[in-house]
Structure 1
């Protein structure tokens, strides 16, 4: 990942921190699958961790970027550096692995999913979130270093190839599709407008009502699979 892409990711993480209620909502969608000792991969600046840790008995954070790991260590304590393509630096295995908006950055996503499988205890869950709908792929995806966006079919095939059993799959954030399409496909922006994320908290209640539409489309895809 080049320096320009990395800076775009830093900026987006800071911008998304303004949409704190979004992460609260996201946690509400997956918390029933979070249990025991948890590893979050690609924790960034901890936007989800502040909520995810409330469902765990032990919460470990990791990121490939040493600058982010230093910040995570300061804010949360138990953080370490790890690239999914490298040997795991600890002996720990986990009841739950959380990996949100990371796999799309990895060219070899098959290898990444297999590495996750090896970190879970038998019966453990992986909670994955990825960008959805390839027709939404645009300038912001390129700026953030996304290799692809996923569908239920492509993500299910990926995890099942690694011997996981899919327990839940759903598209989410239908209302976010319009903004992503306008800024990424029409205006060719390369970053998330801060005011857009700040206003997202205002329309958040609509996400709780979107399920009939989100069964078909959504800006993101959540999948839970069991080892």
Structure 2
């Protein structure tokens, strides 16, 4: 069930070019040239990272997703896609940036995961995380995809501090997505939204992104954090 739910999101987000671009615009200012991506899935963001960075190592636990990502990145210099469990790996290389988009909530011991990623960052390297926000939105759509939790700024900051990262920069993202998640997950108890809703939302991104660039939302469906290794 979890694999099917993840595949639904990855395949639909593969087509959501505007939404992916909006997310990528949030992390672009913090990217270095040597990047480790944890939980690359089918390569939706690996493709974008490869366009901006000189070296990208992308890791995923699912063999089929890794195969799909390798296919999409075939022939792209400086990109390596690995089938591996990031929670068990010992990294031999140091990176400017570690990117983890909608992955931390899938890991039971999030603090240990954050702590282990610190070991593969260069001094002043940045850890970029995007997680689902607002605990009260937790619903069957979270459960079926394997989310252990949703976060707010306090709980995410607490996890970062326990992992010896101090004062991460945080901001909420996509306030307009809250009603849809609440309706589908909390009210209708769906395990995934209708695919056409994802397409409609993608079409609205230019308006939504412009609005949030002018007025920073006080809450959002997602939460970004960027922490610097001292």
Same fold? TM cut 0.5: yes
| Corresponding residue number in structure 1 for 2:15 | 18
Q: Are the equivalent residues in 1 in contact too, given 2:18–2:203 (CA < 8 A)? A: no
CA shift, 1:215, in A, is 3.8
The answer for unaligned runs of 5 or more in structure 1 is: none
| Corresponding residue number in structure 2 for 1:74 | 71
Spell out structure 1 runs of 4+ moving beyond 4 A. Answer: 211-214
Q: Is 1:65–2:62 an aligned residue pair? A: yes
CA shift, 1:54, in A, is 2.3
TM-score by length of 2: 0.91
Q: Are the equivalent residues in 1 in contact too, given 2:137–2:182 (CA < 8 A)? A: yes
| Corresponding residue number in structure 2 for 1:147 | 148
Aligned length: 223
User: How far apart, in 1, do the equivalents of 2:73 and 2:169 lie?
Assistant: 29
Q: Is 1:47–2:48 an aligned residue pair? A: no
Q: How does 1:81-160 map to 2 (within 5 A)?
A: 81-88=83-90, 91-160=92-161
| Corresponding residue number in structure 1 for 2:219 | 217
Q: Are the equivalent residues in 1 in contact too, given 2:139–2:185 (CA < 8 A)? A: yes
User: How far apart, in 1, do the equivalents of 2:42 and 2:167 lie?
Assistant: 28
TM-score by length of 1: 0.93
CA shift, 1:40, in A, is 0.6
User: How far apart, in 2, do the equivalents of 1:177 and 1:70 lie?
Assistant: 33
User: How far apart, in 1, do the equivalents of 2:53 and 2:210 lie?
Assistant: 24
**Which of 143-152 and 46-55 deviates more?**
46-55
